[in-house]
Structure 1
Amino acid sequence: MRPDVVVVGAGIVGAACAEALSAAGVQVTVIDQGAPAGGTTAAGEGNVLLSDKPPGPELELAKASVARWPKLLATLADLLGPEQAEVEWDPKGGLVVALENADALAGFAGHQRQAGVRAELITPSDALALEPNLTRDVIAAVHYPDDAQLQPVLAATTLLAAVRHRGGQVRGGVTALGLRPDGVRTSEGFLQCGAVVNACGPWAGRFSELAGAPIDIQPRRGVVLVTSHTSYTVRHKVYDADYVGAVESGAADLQTSTVVESTQAGTILIGSSRERVGFDETIRVAVLRELARKAVRLFPTLATVPIMRAYGGFRPYAPDHLPVIGPDPRVPGLWHATGHEGAGIGLAAATGQLLADLFLGREPEVDPFPFRVDRPAVMTCT
């Protein structure tokens, strides 16, 4: 069957776009060069965050996504059944702490409150009540009740299961090689369709060149440590206030900041690192040591918990730190949904809805203008 839309990329963002289109009756085929949900999504922590975003377009997209995720998951549970739609959704909230420079943290939270985010400035004693294992060196903290977490691979595969349930196809091991006016050339032959969505994540820049409409999306590598199964308690997503600066930075050199959270599987995830090294997959011991050292500074008794493994992945980095969502004016039928860097899990629900709204000519909930393709920061060829 000839699909209306081919989504190139079966990670969380591509899956969310495909699900939102299929929910509106659009016939969708999703292809991926690897296994569905096996790339950047599989290397994610599952963050659904408001706490790390300053006021602006990305925060507005995040607010829409945080509100949409529970509704979307309920819809998927009704469609597929609760067992198949289980994604380990955990609205546990976030805790951002400062070991120095308390004024900067308070000021950032104040700006977020003005933008409609629940950002509750609390005392160090309150922070210790929320997280008993936290260091006593905390001098300020902000509680974010609306931060959440999910299991990213489960979320992506559930979205793709909904696409299949509605008659769409999901095909792994199929590489997109370029476009023709009536479809996309692939490693498995020509696939006729009416439109193509570039949801290739860190590889979106590469595919955009093949499609004849290059955009500046680059891979930015990150590494996460995983502890063995433990009874050690981390009740929220907890990170040092330096994390916000690392997220917003455009520097290519290595940056690390402390992020610690438990999973429902009983492990603890420790991050985070950011560096632009192309597609170099090397995991460097020095980076792992830095992550561990900073995590122990935040949770001193974490030093007794063994590390089981480490994993790394590439995030799609846009120079202006904003996703690219919408039609490409240079190539009719080409759409983009990429550039979310490390926020793709959290932003996916609203991204899929926004792309579907634009594709179908519906009034979008979120202003699409800041995410347009033809903006100077990402348009590499006019």
Structure 2
Amino acid sequence: MAISISNISHLAFQSVSFHGKNNIQFRRRNNIYGSRPIRFPTYSVGNISTTKASSPVNASSSFEFDVVIIGAGIIGLTLARQFLLESDLSVAVVDAAVPCSGATGAGQGYIWMAHKTPGSDLWELAVRSQKLWKMLAESIQNEGLCPLETLGWKRTGSLLVGRTLEESKMLRDKVTRLAEAGLEVDYISGHSLVLKEPALDVGKEGGAAFLREDSQLDALRTVAFIEKGNRNFASKGRYAEFYHDPVISLVRSGSTGEVEGIRTSKNTLYSKKAIVVAAGSWSGSLMEDLLKGSNVGLDIPVKPRKGHLLVVENFNCFCLNHGLMEVGYVNHQAALHSPYSVPGVTDHEQNLSISMTATMDPVGNLVLGSSRQFSGFSTEVDPSIVNRIWVRAGEFFPALREISLNDFSEGRRVRIGLRPYVPDGRPIIGPVPGMPKVLFATGHEGGGLSLALGTAEMITDMVLGNTLKVDCAPFLVENRFFK
């Protein structure tokens, strides 16, 4: 199926014109890099070094690119990578902060199919994305590099576990459906499960779905690898990063009202082909601000869904051989889905859920999760939630019941991420009707890492007019979010 931005917008909607004081025009457009070579001053973020583009011109300068991407999370950076590798287009990535400062840097890195449902709207995109991640890991290995060191990539396999007869039946049914969909999957009884994970106890009634091909990666290492690859195109005049530079407004044509670019706090970036909003949890509020004063009746209900992950450093009480998740996580992912208040019930009571997830990261730290709650854009650590994560993990790992979390006061960290939640559970991928150059790539909630490569491929194919590998219909803005 061939698809392009202009085709979708033209067939479904008419263009909208804007006039008056909302028009912002910048006539002066400098060469992207001038005549001097680009320099990338370095600063530290977490365990990786990131950089921002250094322009040879003063602040408030104008630049022109083929594609401008708003958001430097895993979605935005893989989008840039895809455009750079699959076309000769120039790309700019803009972010109010730096990479890994949102949901990307706070995840466990699961590239899993275990908790996906065959035939669902997400299924084909998840299958395609997992295949692309495997291809990337293989290409790195073929170049003589180590995928574990480069991406934190490990084909650990996944264990989706349950402890009751009801959960075991649910897992057996899931194994049947996954096998019918072509995946290599087995059901493992609680008695046999101890051979795979000696530290895990699900009781006599419990069991697990085991998927051998599921993998995990480390977000910080993966982002560092992708950024390094993207920056190889900077010397060719095709790539630039504008970090610590929040988007303020859209730039529109004075004659047609068509979106021509974006204005940030420091620069004006014109786009010849596409502007992609990939700002994660901030995508909804950003578009609301950008559309103020216009007559576009678009409501993008992306809300931040806060999550805690507990990282216990240098953990040596036991070792995990696989990534693990309780089957209840799948239910909690869909449950408690209203970010709005219920009279008489506190916010904390009405929307907090805790589910066990557990894995070991590339350096041997124990990573436990996870929580879900709606609490706005707060990223403050809630000690009571951290304690509940520890207690919940102890219900599956008896050794943890004998250990106090306080024993790790100096060797523990808490990751806070704001997952970009959408009420119908589907990410938003595709053009904005009436705004031909503007596209969304957001709303993946906890699946941004796993779905990133498939999303990047889909958006790039839309812009280039290529045949899509996955049906985009479930993810389009059309018929979902208009007021």
Question: In which range does the TM-score fall when normalised by the shorter chain?
Answer: over 0.9
2: CA distance between counterparts of 1:73 and 1:5?
27
Q: Deviations over 1:21-43 (max 9, x none)?
A: 11122211101100122221111
2: CA distance between counterparts of 1:241 and 1:166?
43
1: CA distance between counterparts of 2:385 and 2:377?
17
Change (3 A) 1:82 1:97: closer
1: CA distance between counterparts of 2:213 and 2:147?
25
Change (3 A) 1:81 1:120: closer
Structure 1 residue aligned with 2:262? 184
Q: Which moved more, 1:346-355 or 1:159-168?
A: 159-168
Change (3 A) 1:11 1:288: same
> Is 1:31–1:171's contact at 8 Å kept on the other side of the alignment?
yes
2: CA distance between counterparts of 1:240 and 1:136?
10
Q: Deviations over 1:176-206 (max 9, x none)?
A: 1121222111111211112210000000101
Matched, 1:204 2:283: yes
2: CA distance between counterparts of 1:352 and 1:146?
22
User: 1:80: how far off?
Assistant: 11
Q: Which of the numbers 324, 342, 352 marks the counterpart of 1:238?
A: 324
1: CA distance between counterparts of 2:479 and 2:192?
44
Q: Which of the numbers 116, 128, 131 marks the counterpart of 1:64?
A: 128
Written as runs of structure 1 = structure 2, the 5 A alignment for 1:145-224 is 145-167=212-234, 168-180=239-251, 181-194=259-272, 195-212=274-291, 213-224=298-309
Change (3 A) 1:355 1:80: farther
Structure 2 residue aligned with 1:106? 172
1: CA distance between counterparts of 2:72 and 2:145?
22
> Is 1:121–1:143's contact at 8 Å kept on the other side of the alignment?
yes
Read off the aligned partner of 2:380 and give its amino acid letter.
Answer: T
User: 1:82: how far off?
Assistant: 6.2
> Is 2:109–2:219's contact at 8 Å kept on the other side of the alignment?
yes
Q: 5+ unaligned residues in a row in structure 2: which ranges?
A: 1-31, 33-63, 252-258, 292-297, 340-350
User: 1:78: how far off?
Assistant: 7.7
Coordinate RMSD, CA, aligned = 2.1
Q: Which moved more, 1:62-71 or 1:333-342?
A: 62-71
Report the 3-state secondary structure (helix = DSSP H, G, I; strand = E; otherwise coil) of the residue aligned with 2:309: strand
Q: How many residues align?
A: 379
User: 1:14: how far off?
Assistant: 0.6
Read off the aligned partner of 2:73 and give its amino acid letter.
Answer: G
Larger Rg over CA atoms? 2
> Is 2:140–2:147's contact at 8 Å kept on the other side of the alignment?
no
Matched, 1:23 2:85: yes
> Is 1:14–1:199's contact at 8 Å kept on the other side of the alignment?
yes
Read off the aligned partner of 2:243 and give its amino acid letter.
Answer: G
Q: 5+ unaligned residues in a row in structure 1: which ranges?
A: none
1: CA distance between counterparts of 2:73 and 2:310?
21
Change (3 A) 1:81 1:117: closer
Change (3 A) 1:26 1:77: farther
Read off the aligned partner of 2:450 and give its amino acid letter.
Answer: G
User: 1:175: how far off?
Assistant: 0.6
Read off the aligned partner of 2:83 and give its amino acid letter.
Answer: L
Structure 1 residue aligned with 2:160? 96
Q: Deviations over 1:126-179 (max 9, x none)?
A: 311110111151522110112111111221232222222123112210111121
1: CA distance between counterparts of 2:334 and 2:175?
15
